[in-house]
Amino acid sequence: MSYKVMPTAQVDASARVGAGTTVWELAQIREQARLGEGCVVGRGAYIGTGVVVGDRVKIQNYALVYEPAELGDGVFVGPAVVLTNDHNPRSVDPGGRVKRGGDWAPVGVIVEEGASLGARSVCVAPVRVGPWAMVAAGAVVTRDVPAFALVAGVPARRIGWVGRAGVRLVERAGLWECPRTGTRYAECAGGTALEEL
């Protein structure tokens, strides 16, 4: 085994776990889940059936990643984050019978490469969080987040832009620049998206 699983963690035999990945205490990885290389799954985290996780992903303590979520390479999922999978959740059907797996169609959250989800944020499926975007702690994401966007609030709204370093970008001469790396970005699509130059 080229990955590490703590004794109290549960990893289903059908799950695929990449080399160098660590699964900490009380975490649960369900059937057919696929985790890439070099990941960290924190204490008490839950990875649902068939969830796909890229390489070098950090899923912090007690995060809940419900199927059919997909996490790209380098994604950060903060403590107690929730990725939902039922757009119209009910325990029972209109007749009062308990709903089972086949009684509803799960919808997923897609988090693209390098994006970060702050502690206790919630992504209400179906939504897509774009590459290198950042969701603030406690935010509730109810619509797609563009690449490099910084979103906060309930519901989450864009309050700025961030670069690959995770630092808020500053506007200079009609462009956006990362104060840490010097990388420059340009707004496109009428100011609703950002692209790296």
Q: What CATH number does residue 36 fall under? A: 2.160.10.10
Q: Residue 90: is its pLDDT beyond 80?
A: yes
Kindly tell me the sign of the dihedral angle through the C-alpha atoms of 64, 67, 70, 73: positive
Position 102 scores a pLDDT of 83
Does residue 95 lie within any of the structural domains? no
Q: What is the pTM of this model?
A: 0.95
The share of the chain scoring above pLDDT 70, in percent, equals 99
User: Both tokens of residue 12?
Assistant: 């289903």
**Pairing mode, if any, of strands 64-65 and 58-59?**
unpaired
In a domain, 46, yes or no: yes
Task: Report, as an integer, the average pLDDT of 8-25.
Answer: 98
Residue 63: inside a domain, yes or no?
A: yes
Query: Cα(118)–Cα(96) distance, rounded to whole angstroms?
Result: 37
Give me the pLDDT at residue 190, please: 81
Number of domains in the chain: 1
Average pLDDT, the chain: 95
Q: Indicate whether 51 belongs to any domain.
A: yes
Stretch 57-72: mean pLDDT? 98
Residue 185, domain member (yes or no): no
Residue 180 falls within a domain, yes or no? no
Tens digits of residue pLDDT in 163-195 = 999 999 999 988 999 999 999 999 988 878 898
- Tally of CB atoms within 10 A around 120: 16
Please report the DSSP string for 64-76 in residue order.
Answer: EE-TT-EE-TT-E
Each residue of 147-169: pLDDT tens digit?
A: 999 999 999 999 999 999 999 99
DSSP, res 6: -
Give me the pLDDT at residue 1, please: 67
Do the domain assignments include residue 118? yes
- pLDDT at residue 97 is higher than 80: yes
Domain encompassing residue 141? 4-89+106-162
Question: Would 9 be classed as within a structural domain?
Answer: yes
